[in-house]
Chain A
Amino acid sequence: MKGNEAIAEAAINAGCLYYFGYPITPQTEISEYMAKRMPKVGGLCLQAESEISAINMTMGAAASGARAMTSSSSPGISLKSEGISYIAGCDLPCLIVNVQRGGPGLGGIQPSQSDYYQATRGVGHGDLRLIVLAPSSVQEMASLTAEAFDLADTYRMPAMLLADGALGQMMEPVDFSLFEKREVPEKEWAANGHGGKRKKNIVNSLFIDPQELENSVMKRYERYKIVEQKEVKYEEYMTDDADIVLVAFGITARICKSAIAAVRKDGIKAGLLRPITLWPFPKKEIGALADRAKAFLTVEMNMGQMVDDVRLAVNGKKPVDLYTRTGGMIPSVDEVEEKIRAMAASL
């Protein structure tokens, strides 16, 4: 199954009944799949007139307490950013999928990871965070979609699945049962009218009184703190004895694994830490590796964005090097291998 289709099917399995989208390469298969499947499960797939409408429709559906999602690719996510900020300000859970392509501007249609800053720093105005999950296989496109809905509901905040065009387009076997469902809290805040039997809930992000706004932001940040303590996810690959620790996410992490396997044959001790949650970032884990390893190498499909978080986590204890391709270019295993060998030679 295609990565994009796996997202759509996993979302439906997770009880998502509302999908609002607007087509853009390389993620249009999500819309296509939803259009076919949603009516059959009693849900709604709606192609909005623009990305901005789609995100606002998602906000409305989420406010009613339903599981809702939208998806797009890089330029489209920029258009959605206003709505995402409102959703965060309203404390609404929903899923936003970004199947990244090259940027800035309309950029290109080939895979990229250049929206890392956007997803983890500046996806909208104001003090806000998104839970950002970075799948690295079609299997994870499915299981992390399901997990994202549960996390969003648990912490009453939007979650983003940050994939890329390669993961969206590639096919791999996928098992939809490989996922542990969580118990999520009742949505007592939902603005669904309660059949006129209870006091109506109001969902709002406007606080004219600064003290009131500060209080609401502080309260939200207490929840963010719990997410940072409890929800960090990562994978370690051959890091036990590694002198050189690579840090990479998504499709790039797989290329790194192949490169590591190749250099290991020549006795170069390399390993990989793959952040699965980009926010919260596995900073403690990278910090701990900085005490054992000799050097770090961040590999990304952008000009170096996650490397900032790696450097913060390493905190000057060890050198952090960078290898990047951008604009839709995928680093080859050979290129990464060569970079590791050059680093090993100068250790």
Chain B
Amino acid sequence: MTTTMIFAGSGGQGIQFSGKQTAKTAMHQGKNVTFLPSYGPEMRGGTSNCTVVISDGEIGSPSVSSPDIAVVMNLPSFDKFEPKVKAGGLLVCDSTMIDKKTARTDIDVLSVPASALANDNGLSGFANVILLGAIIKKTGLFTLDEFLGLLIGGIPEAKAALREKNEKALKLGYEF
């Protein structure tokens, strides 16, 4: 069983973080994982994306042209990756940032106004974590507890506020 995912959005939205956290959690499940970032100018703004492959077996290519799951957080990313989602796959959108709807009928869509939810709940900058919560619920790839444990496990005790915000955002998405 292999799951391929692409996360895409603007630099600064936490795209790379979302991908890394997903790969890390799968690694802790004992799966084989690869995380392939886009690098270079993306780090300084502009579009950013990364590819995560999770598998029970050996992973061949770490780069993927048609993913099982595409997570898009801005319009250019929607335009780029919406046509590429594998038939029967899942498209996850931050609907605050993307006012378009897909015309495809062969894919599943999870639309979450993540940026608006973040702003309304004092979680500005955590739209990516809200989306992660929603993805976990929808796909069942991970349990909320295992994902949350690794998400906040890396944050030092001294930054309690950061822990709280991550937890709140993940749960907000999970319960959406």
A residues lining the B interface (CB < 8 Å): 25-26, 109-110, 165-166, 169-173, 251, 254-259, 261, 330, 332-334
Residue of chain B at shortest CB distance from A168: B39
A171-B23, A173-B27 known; A333+B36 contact, CB < 8 A: no
Q: Among B54-62, B94-102, B165-173, which stretch is in contact with chain A? A: B54-62
Residues of A within 8 A of B78 (CB): none
CB A306 to nearest CB in B, in angstroms, measures 19
B residues lining the A interface (CB < 8 Å): 20, 23, 27, 32-37, 39-40, 58-66
Contact B36 A170 (CB under 8 A): yes
Residues of A within 8 A of B37 (CB): 169-171
Contact A251 B39 (CB under 8 A): no
Residues of A within 8 A of B66 (CB): 334
Partner pick for B39 among A165, A256, A330, CB 8 A cutoff: A165
Residues of B within 8 A of A259 (CB): 60
Residue of chain B at shortest CB distance from A169: B39
The distance in angstroms between the C-alpha atoms of A173 and B27, with both chains bound, is 7
Interface secondary structure of A, over-half rule: helix
Residues of A within 8 A of B39 (CB): 25-26, 109, 165, 169
CB A3 to nearest CB in B, in angstroms, measures 10
4 nearest A-B residue pairs (beta carbon): A258-B60, A257-B60, A171-B35, A255-B61
CB A296 to nearest CB in B, in angstroms, measures 19
Interface secondary structure of B, over-half rule: loop
The distance in angstroms between the C-alpha atoms of A25 and B38, with both chains bound, is 12
The distance in angstroms between the C-alpha atoms of A67 and B20, with both chains bound, is 33
Residues of A within 8 A of B27 (CB): 173
CB B62 to nearest CB in A, in angstroms, measures 6
Contact B34 A171 (CB under 8 A): yes
Residues of B within 8 A of A258 (CB): 60-61
The distance in angstroms between the C-alpha atoms of A302 and B61, with both chains bound, is 18
CB B125 to nearest CB in A, in angstroms, measures 23
CB B89 to nearest CB in A, in angstroms, measures 15
The distance in angstroms between the C-alpha atoms of A166 and B59, with both chains bound, is 15
The distance in angstroms between the C-alpha atoms of A94 and B23, with both chains bound, is 34
CB B26 to nearest CB in A, in angstroms, measures 10
Residue of chain B at shortest CB distance from A108: B40
User: 19 A–B contact pairs at CB < 8 A?
Assistant: A25-B39, A26-B39, A165-B39, A166-B36, A170-B36, A170-B62, A171-B20, A171-B23, A171-B33, A172-B35, A173-B27, A251-B62, A254-B62, A256-B60, A257-B60, A257-B61, A259-B60, A333-B61, A334-B65
CB B53 to nearest CB in A, in angstroms, measures 10
CB A249 to nearest CB in B, in angstroms, measures 14
Residue of chain B at shortest CB distance from A29: B39
Residue of chain B at shortest CB distance from A328: B40
Residues of A within 8 A of B34 (CB): 170-172
The distance in angstroms between the C-alpha atoms of A67 and B66, with both chains bound, is 44
Residue of chain A at shortest CB distance from B24: A171
